[in-house]
Amino acid sequence: MDLYKSAAHELHEKLVKKEISSVELTNSIYSRIDQVEDSVKAYLTLDKENALEQAAKVDKMISSGEKIAPLAGIPGAIKDNISTKGLRTTCSSKMLENFTPIYDAHVIQKLRADETIFLGKTNMDEFAMGSTTETSYFQTTHNPWNLERVPGGSSGGSAAAVVAGEAIWALGSDTGGSIRQPASFTGCVGIKPTYGRVSRYGCVAFASSLDQIGPITRDVTDAATVLNTICGVCTMDSTSLHEEVPDFTKALTTDVKGLRIGVPKEYYAAGLDPKVDGVLKKALADYEAMGAKIVDVSLPHTEYAVITYYIIAPAEASANLARFDGVRYGYRDMKATSAPEMTTASRTEGFGAEVKRRIMLGTYVLSSGYYDAYYLKAMQVRTLIRQDFAKAFEQCDVLLTPTSPVVAYPIDGKMDPLAIYLLDVCTIPVNLAGLPGISIPAGFVDGMPVGMQLIGKVLDEETILRAAYAFEQSHDYHKVMAPLGGK
């Protein structure tokens, strides 16, 4: 039985009915990892011994008649910037190559409480800075749909693991699209919750006002299930929202009659692949056939979103990464003869090119004489972007946009960094405004998946999940397995 092809909610039913055991399931996923990992390169660290020990514990609970949580005994993968006590957490960097945390992130605590199984830690762009998973210090992850193409980033390892059958579900982090864009490129589901809905405690900080942890899954039901588990207030995170967490799975209905779907014209402009545009136009027609109402809206400050993000995010990154000084933890240059020399050398050797690029940019925009001209101005534009969304939501319930203007492109490392930055134009505004957004498979272009993004109001994950579920259930895109081929 190819258990790796099943969704978490399907496997939960099999576990409860004792049709399979958690040990059997976990072993089957590790067997799949043995088969395909050399081609996909999704993982940096595996934790088989502890995973099987946890699986046996869940099996014992089931045999004794205990009720288990929806994710109990279901193997998942964790992005390698999320702290796991006793399990190496590297951020795919030389700086943290040998770092082992002494505490769990809040999301890990909550998942452990539900007896979930962690298979290992997934590859990512170094310190979550990148959109391809090519900036990893260790390896480049490959897209299971075409092993010669990128899986997206920075959560490319998590997305590739799910799509290749190397995990049933995974966690990623999203600062400017790093869950949704790889979900789009690999043909799975990725959701960025409202800022503060999920605690950032234990997620190695990139840009603190933008980072959010979220699920990457096979289908919308699994996304809602994982979200149920990881959401909630955290006393260790001052930005954690003190809001009641609903049962997101109750929002999963196929009724979208009367739902107002906004189509922002700025997201369907120059730069959008005409074939991707065609897939999304068909999706809009499908929604209309289901009874939804299509509304044209405008988000006029969208053109400033990317440049605003690449001022704010690097500025916050330069502050957050200042802790890596070669003194307390992380890589240390042992040849230095003075403390200043050691710090400089440790950072020069410990950080990769993309990380250094963003640190230098961030330090520049925060420096004396430039703060008002750049950072302060960017924060003002951020407010305008938030106001654009608020005005648009007066006319609609959700917004439908491309997740990415293009499908996954070849692995070569030659693409200009600025060109890669510009491809985040559809996802970045959602982070700047702190809104929830989800990417789901909407079709294919030249054999590669196309992601459709649904954006919701603050704390209205339920509406985007409902809209996503209705579309998913009327199509089979989420059931198609990636071929793990090339060309």
Residues acting as catalytic residues: 79, 154, 178
In 207-361, which ranges are E strands?
Answer: 212-217, 260-264, 293-297
The DSSP bridge partners found for residue 211 are none
Match 């959401």 to its residue by tokens. Answer: 231
Q: What is the DSSP letter of 99?
A: -
Distance (Å, whole) CA 28 – CA 133: 26
Distance (Å, whole) CA 421 – CA 341: 33
> Is the distance from CB of 437 to CB of 192 less than 8 angstroms?
yes
For 233-249, give the DSSP string: --TT-TT----PPP-GG
The DSSP bridge partners found for residue 122 are 43, 79
Distance (Å, whole) CA 111 – CA 58: 13
Non-local CB neighbours of 372 within 8 Å, separated by 6+ positions: none
> Is the distance from CB of 231 to CB of 193 less than 8 angstroms?
yes
Distance (Å, whole) CA 373 – CA 341: 32
Amino acid at 201: Y
